Chain A
Amino acid sequence: MNWTCEQTEARLGDYLDGLLQPSERAALEAHVAQDCERCAPLLSSVTQLVGHLHGMDELEAPPRLVYNILDKTLGPRDAVVAAPGFFGWLKGMGLPRFAYGALSLSATFLMLASASGFNWRHPKLADLQPTTIARNADRQAHLVFARSAKFVSDLRVVYEIQTRLRQDNNELPTSNEDAVPSNAPDQTPGRTDRSKPGGPNQQNRATSVDRSLQVLASTFISRACLSRVPLFTGSLTSGALSSGILSLGSGSGRRNR
């Protein structure tokens, strides 16, 4: 089949869309393959263009376009438009920043309410009256101050006891050495083993010191419990005292070993 350049130009669309007869297709391709100066570049450029046109993505429509169309056609919709407008401020509540802010605010509120003496187990409306809040806050403040003062004085007593006991312990070895003459031999006459005679005596003395400390501690704790000191202060004091005594006892034991 004889194929001309005019035919190529006229049937190029059909060729690209696959609408040519096989014989026509072969004739066109043979014509182009003969390096026709006019048809080869035309076929190449149009083929590339169509390929690119088919590969072009659809653009995204602006998001407001749908709403503008709906507003123009259905009119301003009360149910759909007014609701987001009224509750629009709620959208920001899902943000983490707002969540943290709300959490810290509620924690502060809880702390203030607790400090003002609000009873969470049996909440009353009367508790929220300004006078009640002020009175409760005043009471709580005084209570906290009294507890703190008591705690500090208890600590001071414990420290004083510890200091005195430490002084006594420091003095003990000195008196022990004094009991044994400096020029006396290590071995007591009649004693065949090489053990020091001062050992059992020291052990006995340490045991007696521990015992006296325990008696002192129990007396102190019972006094603290009998007095009108709040429970947690008493427990703290007794705990601190016991731990102080224990540390002293273990210290003396270690020293004697």
Chain B
Amino acid sequence: MEQDAQLVQQCLQGDGSAWEELVRRHTRRIFNICYRFTGNRTEAEDLSQEVFLRVYRTLASYRSAHGGFATWMTSVTRNLLIDHYRRTRRDRITDSLDDAMPVVENKQSSARRPDELALLGELSSQIQAGLTKLSPELREAVILRDLQQLEYAEIQQVLSVPEGTVKSRINRGRIELARILQQMGVRPS
């Protein structure tokens, strides 16, 4: 964390290599949050780029006294993901109509990339599919707690909600995901 704060200071002084180091340190984590939230690699890549672009532009507004750089970055990511979710709501409604038609769904699944198909064959990908069916509030809470393994205080900071709300969302998210997986015929064992 201290190293991140130092790198941020160097970035603000115009050190390009410090920014490069920051990007290398956090790319994987941000990409994973975006992928778990969207369930799509291409979207996750685009969103990760947007996150870093926004962080780069607003780096001067970061204050280390308010928390770690990673938490601040996660907060920026979360805000962008929610924006993206709202922006693409209309597309998802169309997609959900398509989902009702099995033929169309088959065509879509056959058009997936081979690596995505390989992933879909595993339990992890089924859980990933279940995650995208959760509401965004519950989804982000489960991702931050159980996949990113953040502390309650950090999640509270990222989501800007009281601790009780964080706990409630995490709990409801887990129960809801378990039910979704049960409906999908998936039994994590």
Contacts and interface: CB of A to CB of B under 8 A. Distances in A.
A74 B147 contact: no
Contacts of B181: 45, 49
B178 A45 contact: yes
B27 A52 contact: no
A49 B27 contact: no
A220 to B, nearest CB: 80
Contact of A56 (B28, B48, B127, B175): B127
Contacts of A11: 171
A9 B178 CA distance: 12
A105 to B, nearest CB: 39
A54 B188 CA distance: 12
B27 A61 contact: yes
A231 interface: no
Most B CB within 10 A of own CB, among A10, A11, A13, A70? A13
B98 interface: no
Interface stretch (B2-10, B18-26, B69-77, B88-96): B18-26
A141 B32 CA distance: 71
A244 B27 CA distance: 82
B32 A58 contact: yes
Interface residues of A, number: 33
A65 interface: yes
Contacts of A13: 167-168, 170-171, 174
A52 B128 CA distance: 12
B86 to A, nearest CB: 23
A46 B174 contact: yes
Contacts of B189: 48
Contacts, number: 98
Interface string B118-129: 000001100100
A59 to B, nearest CB: 6
Given A61-B48, A74-B19, A42 B149 contact: no
B29 interface: yes
A74 B14 CA distance: 10
Contact of A46 (B45, B123, B168, B178): B178
B62 interface: no
A10 B168 CA distance: 8
Contacts of A95: none
Contact of B56 (A14, A16, A62, A73): A73
Contacts of A72: 49, 52-53
Contacts of B124: 52, 56
A69 B175 CA distance: 37
Given A53-B146, A56-B127, A65 B171 contact: no
A50 interface: yes
B49 A68 contact: yes
A49 B177 contact: yes
A167 B27 CA distance: 94
B53 A59 contact: no
B29 A58 contact: yes
Interface of A: 9-14, 16, 19, 42, 45-46, 48-54, 56, 58-62, 65-66, 68-70, 72-74, 77
